Amino acid sequence: MPSALIVKVGSTMPELAARRGDYEDWIAAGLDGVPVEVCRVRDGDALPSPEVPRAVVVTGSSALVTDREPWSEATGRWLLEVLARGTPFLGICYGHQLLAHALGGVVGATPRGREIGTIEVELTDEGSRDPLFEGLGPRLVVSASHRQSVLRLPEGARRLAGNALSEHQAYAVGERAWGVQFHPEWDHEVVRAYVEARRAILAEEGLDPDALARAVRPSAHGAAILARFARLI
């Protein structure tokens, strides 16, 4: 079975990692038995030659794409070479934004502010037919936490899902590359931990942490998306 390269560009909260593992662990668990390797580019790991990976997943991160840190810009350029080879790709949160940025799209602060918690996203007609989402819609219940989003898709990208806070919750480039703003690897316990850890910040920003915590609920959609990607590999 071909392996997937998880490009790790960030980590979860240390206390959560100690209990539940980190992004790469959750993604690997969701890939339905596909073997994985991990490249920790933010920690200085060198990316492999673009023809090496059989599939690539880029994780979320607390970093900001708009800061254009050297490791991030280099990863974006590398992704262009990976996609040129038709390699299956899934960008999650930061990975979703990084690919759009690398392809000439626009990433910036989410116009209506932070999005966090259990959210709903609506599939477009094309999204409902896309192999990553077909049969799951028309609305997905997923987990999210982000302050930036893709404000303008790169030329040729196809919008697959959105909601009131983030128009571009999912998109596709070609036939084998997808970006999702939300976190399909998070379960409801993980997203609840994020809401609880950010209570003071959420209140300062005018959000209601109690309401967000009450709204957290389980959903199988995230796991289904990762399993779909595993089959597409």
What CATH number is attached to the domain comprising 11?
A: 3.40.50.880
| 221 tagged catalytic | no
Q: Of 190, 201, 101, whose CA–CA distance to 151 is shortest? A: 101
Digit-by-digit pLDDT tens for the chain (233 residues) are 568 999 999 999 999 999 999 999 999 999 988 999 999 999 999 999 999 999 999 999 999 999 999 999 999 999 999 999 999 999 999 999 999 999 999 999 999 999 999 999 999 999 999 999 999 989 999 999 999 999 999 999 999 999 999 999 999 999 999 999 999 999 999 999 999 999 999 999 999 999 999 999 999 999 999 999 999 99
| 93 tagged catalytic | yes
| 183 tagged catalytic | yes
> What confidence score (pLDDT) does residue 120 get?
98
- Spatial strand order in the sheet of 4-7: 36-39, 4-7, 56-58, 89-92, 177-180, 170-173, 158-162, 115-123, 139-146
Neighbours of 217 (CB within 10 A): 12
Residue type, 200: A
**Element of type H or E holding 212:** helix 209-215
> What confidence score (pLDDT) does residue 2 get?
63
Residue tagged active-site, from 24, 39, 115, 185: 185
Name the pairing type of β-strands 148-152 and 106-109.
antiparallel
> What confidence score (pLDDT) does residue 78 get?
98
Residue tagged active-site, from 24, 39, 93, 115: 93
The residue range of the domain holding 95 is 4-232
Residue tagged active-site, from 96, 101, 183, 221: 183
Residues in CB range of 62: below 8 A, 6 or more apart: 10, 11
Number of domains comprising the chain: 1
> What confidence score (pLDDT) does residue 99 get?
98
> What confidence score (pLDDT) does residue 137 get?
84
Measured CA to CA, the distance from residue 204 to residue 165 in angstroms comes to 19
Helix (H, G, I), strand (E, B) or coil at 162: strand
Measured CA to CA, the distance from residue 153 to residue 97 in angstroms comes to 10
Neighbours of 30 (CB within 10 A): 21
